[in-house]
A = this chain, B = another copy of it.
Amino acid sequence: MVYLTRLEHFNAAHKLYNAGWTPEKNEQVFGKCANENWHGHNYELYVTVKGQPSPDTGFVFDVKQLSLLIREHVIEKVDHLNLNMDVDFMKGKMCSTENLAIGIWNELKKHLPAGVQLHGIKLYETPRIYVEYFGEV
């Protein structure tokens, strides 16, 4: 088994805000992240697939195709957008990095061709904070 990873990035606005709570409780729990006027990040997204290299190409999967799939099914839906307002697969969820990584996994999972296994998502929110998700087990 060989693991192949591609890095893509996107920029987005968001806030951490639980609509079922008072503004005071939101500020107490989320601090500056609850700013009602939003803040934002440069997200760095690592997508890892796994499989056996093909004898004809040496590839587990064509990394250019992987890049195109990520751009079409993820980046187009989140880049230069507002994660809370503009992203259908985040509707009704808290816009944490954890939930965003799970959401991205689910988007990619359904669009990868047969014979390529999605292994993991690694999502940097800042250079000092990242989340990893490997699917449900």
Which residues of chain A have a CB within 8 Å of any CB of chain B? 1-9, 11-14, 16, 18, 20-21, 29-33, 35, 37-42, 48, 53, 55-60, 62-64, 79-82, 85-86, 93-99, 101-102, 126-134, 137
Roughly how many angstroms separate A16 CA and B95 CA in the complex, as a whole number?
Answer: 23
Contact present for B53 and A102 (CB under 8 Å): yes
- Majority SS at the chain A contact face: mixed
What is the count of identical protomers in the complex? 6
Q: How far is the CA of A1 from the CA of B137 in the complex (A)?
A: 8
| In the bound complex, CA of A11 to CA of B13 (Å) | 10
The answer to whether A131 touches B3 (Cβ under 8 A) is yes
Partner of A40, one of B39, B102, B137: B39
A99-B129 in contact (CB<8A): no
A132 and B3 form a contact (CB under 8 A)? yes
The answer on a CB contact under 8 Å between B129 and A41 is no
- In this complex, which of A31, A35, A133 has the most chain B Cβ atoms within 10 angstroms of its Cβ? A35
B128 touches A85 (CB 8 A): no
